[in-house]
């Protein structure tokens, strides 16, 4: 059996944590190999070593049978290894072609011939079924297309081994299907793929084999076709995981949030939200379902105070707060788990302790007579770290940036829930989380509801919305299409409504 990549007995330590402890992964030529592990299990670290961003403390890497040292991403590229990161590295006002040739080898004395490059990109795009316009501007194309540009970037540099780091986290269901096909085209042409994902259904649909790691150690490599999702989940977490959410029927109380005919504009000054009305009561979870980009982002920004509400009224616990500041909304008991945890959730260069008091540091017990009480701040962070199982090298003293993506997310959710808000707005709360953490977060959201609080849940995962919500508001093109109860409808019907087909309203 020919292996294109062999990572043997890899060890990598960071201050306070062994991120990779004797991990072995072997990638066959022409296979899609999933890398599965809990948040913080060490997947990104292992791939960063393969891509030359980190050096292993111990262990061997062989590329096409040859023992090699990969000193930096450039040498990884020369060895035919490419990576699509979770956060794309593209320049918005450059074209696709310009982005692809940017940073690729510039030979001295040679002006890069953009036209020739464009042609080559067009050919590659055709060969792999990517359908990318080489002359489009990055700002004008969808996130799914931008990801394909990242794929083209690798192909343009003749990559043979392609690493995808949670590629579907940013995609719509249709784009996920398309990506599956693209991956098949890639292996059909002899490429080999390492796929990092938490989604077991995707592993089932896309991958040939799967290596499971837990807390930095290899557990096993299995054939995907003969291993069930449940088995893989249990191997990964080290205990039995349940996928179903247990909850009682809700007992809604008074109205907490009332949106009355809200209209909000997007960045391009077009109407993103149109006369949108909705109520969320104490003791209920209301989900918002819709295809990404149908006004959900602007709606939530309007509610949290990040974006101006052009017309309509926003009532919170009976008070008109349409024009109040972000700060006063926070003070009144509105909490927000944002869509983009890097931009809005955390200050990446602050410690975890400081991040856990971003909204409340000026209050007792964290602050007294204008002085910060470091002990209280640390205790608060430790409490969140413990309850939400936030894993990091140095606990409360860890810099937020050093946490794995999923652990950053758990920290943000923990911070917001611990404030015990009257209204929790959770946008994609479980994006990037492993099944064990999803199970826990779902439980906490239901608990919050059962304490009589209101939850507004925005998610692109229909299954999550169906499992958690008491009512689901479906949006299309900034308009409310209808409100349904999950018990009364199937996913298919909600799918139709997401496409704009109206249905009778239930209240």
Ligand X SMILES: Nc1ncnc2c1ncn2[C@@H]1O[C@H](COP(=O)(O)OP(=O)(O)OP(=O)(O)O)[C@@H](O)[C@H]1O
Q: Give the nearest distance from C-beta 279 to ligand X in angstroms.
A: 35
Q: Give the nearest distance from C-beta 370 to ligand X in angstroms.
A: 33
Please, which residue, 47 or 176, has the CB nearer to ligand X? Answer: 47
Please, which residue, 144 or 405, has the CB nearer to ligand X? Answer: 405
Q: Of 193, 238, 197, 232, nearest to 214 (Cα)?
A: 238
End-to-end C-alpha distance for the chain, whole angstroms:
60
Q: Of 290, 325, 249, nearest to 457 (Cα)?
A: 290
Q: Give the nearest distance from C-beta 200 to ligand X in angstroms.
A: 14
Please, which residue, 392 or 469, has the CB nearer to ligand X? Answer: 392
CA distance 367 to 254: 34
Please, which residue, 97 or 407, has the CB nearer to ligand X? Answer: 407
Please, which residue, 48 or 322, has the CB nearer to ligand X? Answer: 48
Backbone angles phi, psi at 229, to 5 degrees: -60, -40
Q: Give the nearest distance from C-beta 408 to ligand X in angstroms.
A: 8
Give how far Cα 139 sits from Cα of 93, 99, 143, 197, 238, Å.
6, 12, 9, 27, 43
What's the distance, CA 34 to chain centroid?
17
Task: Kindly report the three-state secondary structure assignment for every residue of 331-344.
Answer: HHCEEEECCCHHHH
Asked whether the beta carbons of 102 and 64 are under 8 A apart, the reply is: no
Please, which residue, 154 or 390, has the CB nearer to ligand X? Answer: 390
CA distance 127 to 149: 14
Beta bridge partners of 53: none
Please, which residue, 218 or 404, has the CB nearer to ligand X? Answer: 404
CA distance 431 to 413: 11
CA distance 429 to 196: 19
Question: Which residue reads 């998610």 in tokens?
Answer: 459
Asked whether the beta carbons of 343 and 361 are under 8 A apart, the reply is: no
State the angle between helix axes of 143-156 and 173-188 in degrees (0 to 180), rounded to the nearest 10: 10
Q: Give the nearest distance from C-beta 53 to ligand X in angstroms.
A: 10
Please, which residue, 400 or 460, has the CB nearer to ligand X? Answer: 400
Please, which residue, 51 or 316, has the CB nearer to ligand X? Answer: 51
Q: Would the CA dihedral through 429, 435, 436, 440 be positive or negative? A: positive
CA distance 175 to 202: 13
Q: Give the nearest distance from C-beta 165 to ligand X in angstroms.
A: 8
Please, which residue, 214 or 503, has the CB nearer to ligand X? Answer: 214
Q: Of 321, 306, 305, nearest to 258 (Cα)?
A: 321
Residues near ligand X, by CB under 6 A: 14, 17, 19, 37, 39-45, 391-393, 402-407
Please, which residue, 16 or 253, has the CB nearer to ligand X? Answer: 16
Q: Give the nearest distance from C-beta 17 to ligand X in angstroms.
A: 5
Comparing every residue's Cβ against ligand X, the nearest one is: 406
Q: Give the nearest distance from C-beta 48 to ligand X in angstroms.
A: 7
Q: Is the peptide bond before 102 cis (omega within 30 degrees of 0)?
A: no
Q: Give the nearest distance from C-beta 283 to ligand X in angstroms.
A: 32
Helices marked H in 73-131: 73-78, 96-101, 114-127
Structure-token pair, residue 373 = 């009480």
Cβ contacts of residue 174 below 8 Å, gap of 6+?
none
Q: Give the nearest distance from C-beta 199 to ligand X in angstroms.
A: 12
Q: Give the nearest distance from C-beta 379 to ligand X in angstroms.
A: 21
The HSE-up count of residue 61 (CA atoms within 13 Å, CB side) is 23
Please, which residue, 169 or 255, has the CB nearer to ligand X? Answer: 169
Asked whether the beta carbons of 117 and 153 are under 8 A apart, the reply is: no
Please, which residue, 80 or 406, has the CB nearer to ligand X? Answer: 406
R_g of the chain computed on alpha carbons: 24
Cβ contacts of residue 5 below 8 Å, gap of 6+?
25, 26, 27, 50, 61, 62, 63, 81, 161, 192, 194
Pairing of strands 217-223, 311-316: unpaired
Q: Give the nearest distance from C-beta 367 to ligand X in angstroms.
A: 28
């Amino acid at each position: 059996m020919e292996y294109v990549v062999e990572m043997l007995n890899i060890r990598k330590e960071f201050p306070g944590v062994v991120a990779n402890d004797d991990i072995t992964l072997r990638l066959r030529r022409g296979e899609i190999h999933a890398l599965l592990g809990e948040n913080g299990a060490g997947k990104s670290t292992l791939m960063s070593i393969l891509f030359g961003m980190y050096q292993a403390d111990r262990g061997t890497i062989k590329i096409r049978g040859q023992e090699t040292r990969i000193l930096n991403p450039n040498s990884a590229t020369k060895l035919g290894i490419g990576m699509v990161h979770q956060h794309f590295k593209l320049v918005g006002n450059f074209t696709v072609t310009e982005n692809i040739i940017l940073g690729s080898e510039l030979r001295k004395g040679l002006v890069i011939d953009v036209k020739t490059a464009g042609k080559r990109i067009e050919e590659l795009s055709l060969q792999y079924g990517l359908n990318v316009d080489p002359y489009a501007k990055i700002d004008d194309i969808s996130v799914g297309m931008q990801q394909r540009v990242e794929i083209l970037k690798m192909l343009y540099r003749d990559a043979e081994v392609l690493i995808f780091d949670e590629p579907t986290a940013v995609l719509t269901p249709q784009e996920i299907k398309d990506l599956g096909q693209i991956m098949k085209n890639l292996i059909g042409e002899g490429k080999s793929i390492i796929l990092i994902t938490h989604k077991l259904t995707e592993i089932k649909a896309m991958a040939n084999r799967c290596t499971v790691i837990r807390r930095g150690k290899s557990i096993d490599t299995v054939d995907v076709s003969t291993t069930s999702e449940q088995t893989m989940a249990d191997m990964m977490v080290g205990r039995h995981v349940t996928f179903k959410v247990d909850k009682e029927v809700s007992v809604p109380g008074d109205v907490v949030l009332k949106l009355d005919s809200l209209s909000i504009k997007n960045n391009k000054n077009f109407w993103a939200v149109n006369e949108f009305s909705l109520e969320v009561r104490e003791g209920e979870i209301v989900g918002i379902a819709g295809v990404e980009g149908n006004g959900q982002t602007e709606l939530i920004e309007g509610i949290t105070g990040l974006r101006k509400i052009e017309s309509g009224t926003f009532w919170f616990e009976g008070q008109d707060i349409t024009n109040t500041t972000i700060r006063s909304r926070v003070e009144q008991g509105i909490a927000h788990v944002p869509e983009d945890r890097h931009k809005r959730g955390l200050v990446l260069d602050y410690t975890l302790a400081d991040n856990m008091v971003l909204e409340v540091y000026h209050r007792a017990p964290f602050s007294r007579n204008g002085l910060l009480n470091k002990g209280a701040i640390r205790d608060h962070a430790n409490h969140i770290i413990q309850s939400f199982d936030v894993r990091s090298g140095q606990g409360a003293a860890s810099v937020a940036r050093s946490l794995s993506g999923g652990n950053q997310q758990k920290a943000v959710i923990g911070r917001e829930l611990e404030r015990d808000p009257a209204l929790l707005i959770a946008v994609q709360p479980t994006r990037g989380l492993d099944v064990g953490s999803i199970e826990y977060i779902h439980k906490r959201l239901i608990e919050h509801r059962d304490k009589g609080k209101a939850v507004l849940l925005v998610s692109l995962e229909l299954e999550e919305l169906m499992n958690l919500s008491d009512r689901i508001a479906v949006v299309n093109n900034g308009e409310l299409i209808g409100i349904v109860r999950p018990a009364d409808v199937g996913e298919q019907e909600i799918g139709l409504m997401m496409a704009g087909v109206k249905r009778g309203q239930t209240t």
